[in-house]
Structure 1
Amino acid sequence: MGGIKRKEAPSGAANGYKKQKTVEQNTVKQTKSRLDAAAEDDGDDFGGFSGGEDEDSADNTITEKAGETRPASNSAASKNGDAKKFTLDTSSAEAHAKQRALAKERKANKPHADVIGRSKQLWERLRRKSHVPSAERKELVGELFTIINGRVRDFVFKHDSVRVIQCALKYANKEQRRMIVDELKGDIRTLMESRYGKFLIAKMVVEGDQGIRNVVVPEFYGHIKRLINHPEASWIVDDIYRQVATTQQRAVMLREWYGTEFALANRDATASAKSTESADLRKILEDAPEKRKPILQHCLQMINSLIQKKMTGFTMLHDAMLQYFLALQSGTEEHTEFLELLKSDIETKAEAKDGDGSGGGDLYRNLAFTKSGSRLVCLALAWGSAKDRKVVLRLFKDTVEMMSFDANAKMVLVTGLDVPDDVKMSGKAIFHELLGQGIEDEKARLDRLEGVVINLNARVPALFPLAGGAKWLMNDQDKTLLAEVEEVRSTTSKKAPELRRKGLLEHLSPPMLELVSKRAEKLVQSSFGCQVMTETLLEANSEQSVEQKGEAKKAVAKLAAGDPSEEGHLVHDAAASRMLKTLVSGGNFDPKTKATQLVEPRLGFATALFPIIKERLVQWACSPSSFVVVALLESEDVSDEIKKDVKKALQKGKKEIEKASKDTGDAVKVAGGETKDKKRKVEGGKGNAGARILLEKLST
């Protein structure tokens, strides 16, 4: 593994720690984090307390009555039919009563037994939220705080009474919560390592305000290495780091991965709380180049330790791994060894139980779903060899759909399409799963594809070969990452980007054109759907889809049929209007060149649209979609014959167009004289701008 020997996890860790699993995300409904789940755990699954004040009334069942006799099953006499009977010295009920009495006596001898017993009774009542009136709950909470005030530490280290404090936090006001936290200050880390106390910490940070969080989080400073490796504390520390800690608090915690000196510095909570130090490892190494070797060694040791223990789901680990990787010089031995370390989690063909070489890989799967981890996986794919990329993409085979709906993981799929030279492999590995090409039922397959292309995240990998890094498709963060990946790709790839894109379109075009042909009426109902149809008709080209593209053009053109004066007609939809204008123009407008970039081969959408709107062309010219008609006269993609027919039709309705150009409302003229005024303010209040342009065109 390039200098780092892979070891099995220590036996103690294997027995005491549950393996982190890949985070499973529902594509429709987001699940709660473990921190929120722990904070909401009020002990309903605990089933109440044993040994409570009213314990005697709990067991009313007597299994055997006093003086009852029963046959001895193994008696020799029973074989001869002469069964002997015997009498028990004490009944079962009497034995149970003695046991309860002993248990009650032992509990009574414990410190604070009376107050703990009463607090349990209050908890039992309060936990049934729907059964307790608000006024009664307020009274019970007040009594509960009277009991626990000054005694919180006596409650929190017992598995049953800690539930009482959790309940108190849930119903407490701001001052009461702060009182509990102040009493436990100094014991936070101990509670974190407790099997039951960690749930109390979760309740503190979730129910409390930022002031309480600023008390809790600094308690971890100086102990991150111990806590992140602890079987009880690790997951909750990481969830607090990810969900609760401020940016500066996260930086303080992450710096402890860089060496013992940072951890010792953090133990001064006052100094670390005021610290403005950055966790950017490259900057730290630039400021102290003499410490480069020990810092990198310490960070790598912590990373490697968690990977070998299969504890790879932590966001803090992913942040540390990215910082470490970015601090390395490309092409160096350290850089190569770290890429090998990432692959060490993937089982070889000999190691995999099923023998297909796809075992393991939880590290890559977990990395894909965090911001830092996603960036690291993208860079690893960009730097990897063709074989490495194939192995990594195979790991995501069963999670492609889930990844596409995730804000971070979707960029791993984009990189998986944009980096490999083998587009046949990458297209099949991603598009086959993403677009549901393995689904035989047509309706189910189109439903799946439609759900993907109109989702804010999932549409990015689905439409990337069509639109590239278009502004409407990718946000600034995604475009920055894509540019970083493509910079690396320029040194590791031999294939021209246009050839790669053409190869991907061979996979993507048929299913996308099928979707537009059969679901145009549904897609036009959303702006995302209009963008899908626009880019599909403009860019989807393959040798097998020529006929499909003609059908798709007809399906989109038919959407313009009907009376434009009717409510809900396509003519009044801004997104649909932009779609038709772009399609008639034959390409997207380029703001740099101030001209429309015509696609090749030419689209020729006007040929399908004009016959459908020809009879109502004047109404279109006076409508909010008047620029569709302007495009029919201006576009180079429209034939001279169609332009001639458009002018002829507009000349007949020149008076209506002139009126619309001056009207302060967008009027849609009906060919009999009736007008429907949409009462919509237009540019400068000077009438329909498209109609004014058409008048100029008609006068020349």
Structure 2
Amino acid sequence: MAGIKRKSAAAAQPEVKSKSKKVKVDKPAKRSSDKDAVKLSKSSKKTKREVDSEDLVESDTSEAENGFYGFSASKSADEDVSMDDEEEDGFVGDALEAALEKDTTIDKKKKEKKDKDGKSQPKKEKKASNDSETVEDKSSALAGLNATSSREAHAKQKAVAKERKAARPNAEIMEQLKELWEKLRLKTNVSAEERKDLIDRTFELVTGRIKEFVFKHDTVRVIQSALKYTHSMEQRRIIATELKGEFKGLAEGKYAKFLIAKLLEKGDAEIRGIIIQEFYGNVRRLINHPEAAWILDDTYRQVATPAQKARLLREWYGPEFSIKGLGDDKNLDSSDLTAILEKSPEKRKPIMDYLEQQINQLIQKKQTGFTMLHDAMLQYFLTCKPNTTEASDFLDHLKPDPTLKEGEEADNIDLLKNLAFTKPGSRLVSLAFAYGAAKDRKILLRPYKDTIETMAYDANAHNVLLAALAVTDDTKLTSKSIFGELLPAVGSDELSEKIQNLSNDARARCVLLYPFAADAKWLLDEETRGRLAEVYKVREITSKKDANIRNQELAKNIEPQLLTAVSQHAEHFAQSYQGLQLIGEVLVGAPEVEPKLRQEALQKVADLSQQIIDGGGFITSHGKNMLKTLVQGGKFDPKTKKVVPVDPPLGFADLFWSHIKKDLITWATGEGSFVIVGLVESENFSHKDEVLQALKKGRKQLQEAAGPAKADVKTQKGKKGAAQQSRGNAGARILLEKL
């Protein structure tokens, strides 16, 4: 007999209609709305029953073949069952759930119809009829399950679920793996020996059949845990070797992609090479896949070698670059698009069109966080000739819409923010600032308003801020947009703490002190100076203001906050060499700003001079350089080989002399000897004769500290206990020459 496919057991039951007449009850007019609601509910129930009856579909098999629930149960038997027991508990028949839901709804209606006095309204025969229908539906559902209660029905459903799980392929092995995983995944309370035993047992079960487990969301986690905790590279190679040829499919899996991530993280160069090899020729497909795109980009950014990165990026230039042997035959490892087009200029249009299409496709999908995308965009822009329509159109795509009102956000805001935090992206944005006009720079800087502080501390994004400071002629704009977000206003309790945090970070201090020491080697590393040199070259054409004037204006705008922090908490800054460098730059820079506040800060530094020179290590070495700069009244210019005094003069030499007058010889023969040299050479020092007279009295101590000019005894390298001759104190020798 042909079976019938049902949505639920309740739908198969004949509809029971009550033949009793309604009892007419007089009700107040205010209850008319409730009456209408009851009629509406009745109509909706009737409609629902009609729809259910129409949904019945004939089947070619009987209920005995497919179980009580027909095809629905048969299909669900093939589906994966989660590792959690909660899914088994929730596996309840639709009929039972529907009956219980009706019962709950009726109880709720009873409660709502009670009077304020606690008396219930007269019951209708219709309500009694509905109750009887619900009881019959519930009874029929339980009868269909051969159960007398919902508890028994749940138990039977769990038993059915277990039977289905047992019928799956490798069911026994999967259960064993899950039991091992429950112990293996624990971070604590598992000894090293026990964990090693669990890993070995796991590999015994999966070796030779790993492909059968990695595409299932539950068992793939077991293999991930084994990869995470194993210390054997051979076991990792076993997994990678067995999965060879499947990594592209794994990368597209919702759960299996994490297995690739773990292999890339824990594997060696051989394992990574096996995985990346399967990405070749499939970059376009993978980068547009919602799951695989992140694995591909993480591989490109973190683990791929330069040659592997170049080959992956070349596939953005056209289909011919996806096949090894085609394209640029002599330079297969190069992804420099400019070099490729110089050799084959006839390919410029198809390559640029293909690359632009790939870029726009990801931007329109708002997949803008990929480093590979940023690298492709940089290659496109570097290939464009400056001041051409092609370059201008590309920059226009980067700029937010200037017509948007306040509170509205452009579509490419996320793109600009993501670009700033990657190496190629930050270079692209820096060049956009350099090539842009004054209005363009203002528009480009606007989206970063709420991320300025994060950018200042980032290894890549701080270069964007440096480029904006270096090329923007409107210094009020950059001071407000950048330093206004970094530095609180004068009088804020957080001002000193913020400045200390900025000055102690290797990247943030570059942004903070750039107006004072734009090209200092101690401030900017070689890579940053190279990036800025590229920006400076473009700045000569696009910017009108002189660089020194721009930096002076920036320094004046932030000088009040910095001077306030130094004058109030100089002792805190003096505890680190970064803070000492900041003190020296701030006190020498923009001397015409806040002269009274500057004198207070200079007095504080003079009071701490002995503490600074006795600090030891980096504090002493950087501290004496800072003190020498202050007593000389300006910075040393390596081009002219002279000190350039500031105007108006600082007057620090006189303050310093009043503190070290009694210990002059100690300073002259110790770590602070070069500070005394600077004191003697200072042009604005009014007590120079007094210092020289005191040094003459201590000539003998100076001679002992100075020592011989050259070592008289040659040291024998490589021998223990070899005699070594100290050259003495160089500062003391210079002072003797001046006497």
TM-score range, shorter chain: 0.7 to 0.9
Secondary structure, aligned partner of 2:323 = helix
- Deviation digits for residues 390-440 of structure 1 (CA, Å, limit 9, x no counterpart): 111111111111111111111111111121121111111111111223xx7
Q: For residues 656-675 of structure 1, what are the structure 2 equivalents within 5 Å?
A: 656-662=701-707
Q: For residues 595-634 of structure 1, what are the structure 2 equivalents within 5 Å?
A: 595-634=642-681
Task: Give the deviation of 1:224 after TM superposition.
Answer: 0.8
Secondary structure, aligned partner of 1:588 = strand
Counterpart for residue 333 of structure 1: 389
Secondary structure, aligned partner of 1:413 = helix
Letter of the 1:148 counterpart: V
Q: For residues 264-413 of structure 1, what are the structure 2 equivalents within 5 Å?
A: 264-265=323-324, 277-343=333-399, 346-350=400-404, 354-355=407-408, 361-413=413-465
Task: Give the deviation of 1:604 after TM superposition.
Answer: 3.2
Counterpart for residue 9 of structure 2: none
Counterpart for residue 158 of structure 1: 216
Match of 1:643 among 688, 695, 715: 688
Q: For residues 44-63 of structure 1, what are the structure 2 equivalents within 5 Å?
A: 49-50=83-84
Match of 2:727 among 676, 681, 686: 686
Task: Give the deviation of 1:78 after TM superposition.
Answer: 13
Counterpart for residue 233 of structure 1: 292
Distance of aligned partners of 1:223 and 1:267 in 2 relative to their CA distance in 1, 3 Å threshold: farther
Counterpart for residue 556 of structure 1: 605
Q: Is the Cα contact below 8 Å between 1:257 and 1:299 reproduced in 2?
A: yes
Q: Is the Cα contact below 8 Å between 1:632 and 1:638 reproduced in 2?
A: no
Counterpart for residue 190 of structure 2: 132
Distance of aligned partners of 1:47 and 1:520 in 2 relative to their CA distance in 1, 3 Å threshold: farther
Letter of the 1:466 counterpart: F
Q: Is the Cα contact below 8 Å between 1:378 and 1:411 reproduced in 2?
A: yes
Which sections of structure 2, spanning at least 5 residues, go unmatched?
1-79, 97-102, 111-122, 710-723
Counterpart for residue 653 of structure 1: 698
The range that moved more, 102-111 or 385-394, is 102-111
Counterpart for residue 204 of structure 1: 263
Q: Is the Cα contact below 8 Å between 1:221 and 1:266 reproduced in 2?
A: no
The range that moved more, 652-661 or 368-377, is 652-661
Secondary structure, aligned partner of 1:470 = coil
Question: TM-score of the superposition, structure 2-length normalised?
Answer: 0.76
Say if 2:537 is the partner of 1:487.
Answer: yes
Task: Give the deviation of 1:441 after TM superposition.
Answer: 5.7
Task: Give the deviation of 1:559 after TM superposition.
Answer: 1.1
Task: Give the deviation of 1:691 after TM superposition.
Answer: 1.8
Say if 2:244 is the partner of 1:185.
Answer: yes
Secondary structure, aligned partner of 2:608 = helix
Whole-angstrom distance in 1 between the partners of 2:337 and 2:305: 19
Say if 2:162 is the partner of 1:109.
Answer: no
Q: Is the Cα contact below 8 Å between 1:222 and 1:266 reproduced in 2?
A: no
Whole-angstrom distance in 2 between the partners of 1:340 and 1:562: 56
- Deviation digits for residues 499-540 of structure 1 (CA, Å, limit 9, x no counterpart): 322321221211122222122212122221111111112223
Say if 2:444 is the partner of 1:444.
Answer: no
Q: For residues 468-547 of structure 1, what are the structure 2 equivalents within 5 Å?
A: 468-542=518-592, 544-547=593-596
RMSD of aligned alpha carbons: 3.3
Q: For residues 407-422 of structure 1, what are the structure 2 equivalents within 5 Å?
A: 407-422=459-474
Q: Is the Cα contact below 8 Å between 1:423 and 1:504 reproduced in 2?
A: yes
- Deviation digits for residues 259-279 of structure 1 (CA, Å, limit 9, x no counterpart): 1100123899xx99x985211
Whole-angstrom distance in 2 between the partners of 1:217 and 1:464: 41
Task: Give the deviation of 1:612 after TM superposition.
Answer: 1.2
Distance of aligned partners of 1:562 and 1:177 in 2 relative to their CA distance in 1, 3 Å threshold: closer
Q: Is the Cα contact below 8 Å between 1:241 and 1:316 reproduced in 2?
A: yes
Q: For residues 223-262 of structure 1, what are the structure 2 equivalents within 5 Å?
A: 223-262=282-321
Whole-angstrom distance in 1 between the partners of 2:265 and 2:623: 45
Match of 2:322 among 255, 263, 288: 263
Letter of the 1:192 counterpart: A
Which sections of structure 1, spanning at least 5 residues, go unmatched?
1-45, 64-69, 665-682
Secondary structure, aligned partner of 2:527 = helix
Secondary structure, aligned partner of 1:466 = coil
The range that moved more, 594-603 or 414-423, is 594-603
- Deviation digits for residues 611-638 of structure 1 (CA, Å, limit 9, x no counterpart): 1111211211121111111111123x33
- Deviation digits for residues 554-574 of structure 1 (CA, Å, limit 9, x no counterpart): 12111125798xx64899812
Whole-angstrom distance in 2 between the partners of 1:138 and 1:150: 20
Q: Is the Cα contact below 8 Å between 2:475 and 2:554 reproduced in 1?
A: yes
Letter of the 1:609 counterpart: F
- Deviation digits for residues 357-382 of structure 1 (CA, Å, limit 9, x no counterpart): 67751111111111111111011011
Whole-angstrom distance in 2 between the partners of 1:454 and 1:333: 44
Whole-angstrom distance in 2 between the partners of 1:291 and 1:610: 73
Whole-angstrom distance in 2 between the partners of 1:136 and 1:628: 64
- Deviation digits for residues 9-52 of structure 1 (CA, Å, limit 9, x no counterpart): xxxxxxxxxxxxxxxxxxxxxxxxxxxxxxxxxxxxx9971469
Secondary structure, aligned partner of 1:305 = helix
Say if 2:736 is the partner of 1:695.
Answer: yes
Secondary structure, aligned partner of 1:603 = coil
Whole-angstrom distance in 1 between the partners of 2:81 and 2:647: 70
Q: Is the Cα contact below 8 Å between 1:571 and 1:623 reproduced in 2?
A: no
Distance of aligned partners of 1:47 and 1:347 in 2 relative to their CA distance in 1, 3 Å threshold: farther
Whole-angstrom distance in 2 between the partners of 1:563 and 1:443: 26
Q: Percent identity?
A: 47
Higher radius of gyration, 1 or 2 = 2
Letter of the 2:634 counterpart: G
Letter of the 1:225 counterpart: R
Whole-angstrom distance in 2 between the partners of 1:152 and 1:117: 15
Counterpart for residue 180 of structure 2: 122
Distance of aligned partners of 1:583 and 1:563 in 2 relative to their CA distance in 1, 3 Å threshold: closer
Pick 1 or 2: higher relative contact order, CA cutoff 8 A, min separation 6. Answer: 1
Counterpart for residue 582 of structure 1: 629
Q: Is the Cα contact below 8 Å between 1:577 and 1:625 reproduced in 2?
A: yes
Whole-angstrom distance in 2 between the partners of 1:312 and 1:306: 7
- Deviation digits for residues 472-510 of structure 1 (CA, Å, limit 9, x no counterpart): 111111111111112111111222223322321221211
Counterpart for residue 453 of structure 1: 503
Whole-angstrom distance in 1 between the partners of 2:580 and 2:510: 15
Counterpart for residue 100 of structure 1: 158
Whole-angstrom distance in 2 between the partners of 1:503 and 1:568: 34
Letter of the 1:553 counterpart: L
Q: Is the Cα contact below 8 Å between 2:181 and 2:225 reproduced in 1?
A: yes
The count of corresponding residues between Structure 1 and Structure 2 is 609
Letter of the 2:528 counterpart: D
Whole-angstrom distance in 1 between the partners of 2:666 and 2:690: 16
Whole-angstrom distance in 1 between the partners of 2:500 and 2:459: 18
